[in-house]
C-alpha cells in the first residue's frame, strides 16, 4: 500500500509540466496514427470498389440517342470532361478568350472570341471578295461549334448550304432521319438544303454518337465525306475497297474520328456534296494538284481578279506529314490524353490544346519539364509564323501587281499566267494559315509548303514582268510521295 504523497511535496517536482502532459500527448499521437491508418484503409476500399464496376448502365443507348446528357448518365466522368470544352483559354497562336459582347436580336451570344481580322488586318485583303472578310474569329471549344456557325456574320452576307452542318452539329441521326435510315442518302439530302432549313434538323454540337458506337462504345466514323475521302486516298495508294469502319485499327480510329472534320474540303457541284480532295494524297501540293485538275474555284479574288481557293482547317492532312504521326501517335494521344480519376483511367474528353495540359499530353512520352517542352513548341510556332507572314506578304504583293497591270491593260497576255501562280501561292500560304497548330503538327512540312508558296509568288512576278519563256516553263513540281505511317495496333 503506497503512502499518500503530501500535496506540497508533489508541487515541488521540477518535471511536473511534462508529467502532466505526457499521457494526453501520447494519446494524441496514437490517435493521429489511427486516423492515418483509417484514411489509408478507406482510400484502398474506395479504389477497389471503383475498380469493380467500370461503369453502370443506367439508360439504354440506341443508334438514335443524340443528347449527350443521356449518354452522360452511363458515362459521367467522360461527360463532365466533355462539358468543359466551354472553357475559353488563350495560347500563343490559338485558343480563345471570352470577350464580352452585348447580345442583339439577331445574335444572342454574350461572349465571343477575338477577331482574327483585327489581329492581322492583312487577312482582309488576303481573302478580299470572300465572306471570311466579314467575320472570322479564333475557333472556340467544341461546345460553341453550332452557335458560332449559326450567328457568324458570314451567314448574313452569303447563303450557305446545309453541307456546313456536317462539322458544326451532331448530324449523324439527322442524316439517318433525312435518308429514312440511309446515311448516304440523308447526307446528300441535307447537303442540298439551305442552311436555315437544315439547321432545324439538329440540336447539339458534336456529341458522343458522332464518334462512338452506342452498343459497344467502339470508335466509328459517322461522316460520309470521310468514308469517301479516305477510300479515295487508300485507292490512290493501291488499297482497293477500303471501308474505314471495317479496316482501320483502333489506334488509327483515334485519329480518323477527328479527321471527320479537321480537314480540307470543298462543296462539289450544284448538289453541294461535301468532298475531301484526297485522291492524289494528303499534302498541300497534292490537294492543289487535285483542284488544278478539276478547276474548282471558291471565289474570285477582288484584288488579283483571278479564281482562287480557300484552304479550310487541314489539321488531319498536316499532322499526317509530321513526326508524331510517323511514330504512331494519334490525335487523341495529345488532345485527349488518358487521365486517372480514382481507380478509373479515362480519355480526357475535354478536348483542348496540349499546351494547356503539358503534363498529361506531352510528359507521358517526353521527360522534360513543362517550361522546356512549351519552349520547344513555341520555337517551332514562332519560326512558322515568320514564314507565314512572308508568304502572305508575297502573295498580297503579287495580287497588287496583277491588279496594277490589269488596270493598265486588261488585255495583257501575261495576266493569265500570273493569276495562275497567284492562285497557287494564295492556297499554299492559306493552307498553313488555316491549319490550327501554327506549324507544330508537321514543322518541316509547314515550312516546305510556305516555301512552295513563296516560290509561286516569285514565279508570278516573273510571269508578269520577267522573261516570259522562263516563267511559263515552270510547272508545279510533282508532290512528294504521300507519307502515311504503317498501321499500328494497340495502345501507346
- Beta carbon of residue 339, minimum distance to another protein (angstroms, whole number): 7
Residue 280 CB, shortest distance to another protein, in Å, is 37
CA distance linking residue 410 with residue 424, whole number of Å = 21
User: Which one among 65, 363, 374, 472 touches another protein, defined by CB under 8 A?
Assistant: 363
Coil/strand/helix, residue 415: helix
The residues pairing with 300 across neighbouring beta strands, listed in sequence order, are: 307
Cα Rg of the chain (Å, integer):
30
Going by the DSSP 8-state scheme, the letter that residue 406 receives in this structure is H
Closest CB 345 distance from another protein, rounded Å:
8
Can you tell me the distance from the alpha carbon of 114 to that of 139, in angstroms, rounded to the nearest whole number?
A: 9
Q: Is 356 in the site for another protein (CB under 8 A)?
A: no
CB nearer to another protein: give 50 or 382. 50
Per-residue binder mask for another protein (CB under 8 A), 436-475, x = binder:
----------------------------------------
Q: Which stretch binds another protein (CB under 8 A): 198-206, 249-257, 335-343, 436-444?
A: 335-343
Helix (H, G, I), strand (E, B) or coil at 492: coil
53 near another protein, rule: CB under 8 A: no
Nearer to another protein, 142 or 349 (CB): 349
- Residue 327 CB, shortest distance to another protein, in Å, is 13
Identified binder of another protein from the candidate list 237, 294, 300, 359, rule CB under 8 A? 359
Cβ proximity to another protein, 39 vs 323, nearer residue: 39
Grouping H, G, I as helix, E, B as strand and the rest as coil, residue 383 is helix
**Helix or strand holding residue 20 (H, E):** helix 16-52
For the segment 13-42, give every residue that binds another protein (CB under 8 A): 22-24, 26-27, 30-31, 33-34, 36-41
Q: 3-class DSSP state for residue 456?
A: helix
Residue 51 as a binder of another protein (CB under 8 A): the answer is yes
375 binds another protein per the rule CB under 8 A: no
In degrees, to the nearest 5, what angle opens at C-alpha 399 toward C-alphas 394 and 401? 95
Give the nearest distance from C-beta 54 to another protein in angstroms.
11
What is the rounded CA–CA span in Å between residue 430 and residue 391?
9
Q: According to the binding rule CB under 8 A, does residue 345 interact with another protein?
A: yes
Stretch that binds another protein, among 5-13, 71-79, 174-182, 339-347 (CB under 8 A): 339-347
Q: What angle do CA 263, 157, 90 make, to 5 degrees?
A: 50
Segment holding 137, helix H or strand E: none
**Residue 189: partners with Cβ closer than 8 Å, 6 or more residues away:** 178, 179
Taking CB under 8 A as the rule, does residue 477 contact another protein? no
The residue from 10, 13, 18, 45 that contacts another protein (CB under 8 A) is 45
Q: How far apart are CA 296 and CA 268, in angstroms?
A: 8
The helices-and-strands tally (H runs, E runs) of the chain is: 23, 8
Listed in sequence order, the residues at least 6 apart from 285 whose beta carbon sits closer than 8 Å to its beta carbon are 428, 449, 452, 476, 477, 479, 480
- Which x/- pattern, by CB under 8 A, does the window 277-316 give for another protein? ----------------------------------------
Size of the site for another protein (CB under 8 A): 32
Q: Which residue stretch of 177-185, 234-242, 337-345, 442-450 sits at the interface with another protein (rule: CB under 8 A)?
A: 337-345
C-alpha pair distances (Å), 254 with each of 115, 140, 242: 31, 22, 17
- We find the least distance from the C-beta atom of residue 43 to another protein, in angstroms, to be 5
Q: Measured between alpha carbons, how far is 492 from 487 in angstroms, rounded to an integer?
A: 13
Q: Does 364 bind another protein (CB under 8 A)?
A: yes
> Which residues contribute to the site for another protein (CB under 8 A)?
2, 22-24, 26-27, 30-31, 33-34, 36-41, 43-45, 47, 51, 339-340, 343, 345, 359-360, 363-365, 367, 492
Amino acid at each position: 500500500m503506497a503512502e499518500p504523497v503530501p500535496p506540497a511535496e508533489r508541487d515541488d517536482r521540477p518535471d511536473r509540466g511534462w508529467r502532466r502532459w505526457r499521457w494526453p500527448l501520447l494519446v494524441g499521437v496514437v490517435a493521429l496514427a489511427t486516423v492515418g491508418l483509417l484514411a489509408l484503409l478507406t482510400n484502398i476500399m474506395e479504389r477497389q470498389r471503383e475498380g469493380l464496376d467500370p461503369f453502370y448502365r443506367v439508360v439504354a443507348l440506341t443508334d438514335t440517342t443524340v443528347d449527350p446528357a443521356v449518354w452522360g448518365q452511363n458515362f459521367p466522368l467522360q461527360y463532365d470532361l466533355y462539358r468543359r470544352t466551354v472553357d475559353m483559354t488563350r495560347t500563343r497562336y490559338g485558343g480563345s478568350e471570352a470577350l464580352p459582347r452585348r447580345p442583339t436580336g439577331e445574335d444572342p451570344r454574350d461572349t465571343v472570341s477575338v477577331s482574327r481580322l483585327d489581329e492581322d488586318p492583312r487577312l482582309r485583303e488576303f481573302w478580299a471578295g470572300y465572306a471570311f472578310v466579314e467575320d472570322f474569329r479564333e475557333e472556340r471549344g467544341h461546345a460553341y461549334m453550332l452557335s458560332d456557325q449559326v450567328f457568324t456574320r458570314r451567314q448574313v452576307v452569303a447563303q450557305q448550304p446545309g453541307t456546313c452542318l456536317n462539322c458544326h452539329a451532331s448530324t449523324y441521326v439527322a442524316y439517318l432521319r433525312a435518308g429514312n435510315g440511309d446515311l448516304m442518302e440523308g447526307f446528300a439530302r441535307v447537303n442540298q438544303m439551305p442552311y436555315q432549313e437544315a439547321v432545324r434538323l439538329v440540336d447539339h454540337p458534336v456529341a458522343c454518337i458522332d464518334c462512338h458506337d452506342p452498343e459497344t462504345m467502339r470508335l466509328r466514323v459517322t461522316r460520309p465525306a470521310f468514308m469517301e475521302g479516305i477510300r479515295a486516298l487508300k485507292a490512290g495508294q493501291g488499297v482497293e475497297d477500303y471501308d474505314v469502319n471495317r479496316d482501320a485499327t483502333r489506334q488509327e480510329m483515334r485519329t480518323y474520328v477527328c479527321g471527320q472534320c479537321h480537314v480540307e474540303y470543298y462543296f462539289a457541284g450544284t448538289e453541294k456534296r461535301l468532298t475531301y480532295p484526297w485522291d492524289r494524297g494528303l499534302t498541300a501540293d497534292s490537294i492543289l494538284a487535285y483542284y488544278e485538275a478539276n478547276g474548282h474555284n471558291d471565289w474570285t479574288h477582288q484584288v488579283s481578279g483571278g479564281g482562287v481557293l480557300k484552304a479550310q482547317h487541314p489539321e488531319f492532312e498536316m499532322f499526317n506529314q509530321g513526326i508524331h504521326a510517323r511514330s504512331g501517335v494519334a490525335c487523341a494521344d495529345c488532345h485527349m490524353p488518358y487521365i486517372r480519376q480514382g481507380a478509373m483511367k479515362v480519355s480526357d474528353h475535354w478536348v483542348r490544346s496540349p499546351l494547356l495540359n503539358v503534363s498529361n499530353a506531352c510528359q507521358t512520352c517526353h521527360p522534360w519539364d513543362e517550361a522546356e517542352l512549351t519552349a520547344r513548341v513555341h520555337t517551332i510556332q514562332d519560326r512558322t509564323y515568320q514564314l507565314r507572314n512572308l508568304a502572305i506578304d508575297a502573295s498580297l504583293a503579287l495580287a497588287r501587281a496583277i491588279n496594277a497591270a490589269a488596270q493598265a491593260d486588261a488585255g495583257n497576255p501575261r495576266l493569265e499566267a500570273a493569276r495562275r501562280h497567284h492562285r497557287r501561292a494564295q492556297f499554299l500560304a492559306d493552307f498553313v494559315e488555316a491549319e490550327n497548330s501554327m506549324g507544330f503538327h508537321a514543322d518541316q512540312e509547314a515550312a516546305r509548303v510556305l516555301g512552295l508558296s513563296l516560290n509561286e509568288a516569285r514565279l508570278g512576278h516573273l510571269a508578269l514582268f520577267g522573261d516570259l519563256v522562263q516563267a511559263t516553263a515552270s510547272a508545279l513540281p510533282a508532290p512528294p510521295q504521300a507519307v502515311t505511317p504503317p498501321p499500328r495496333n494497340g495502345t501507346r
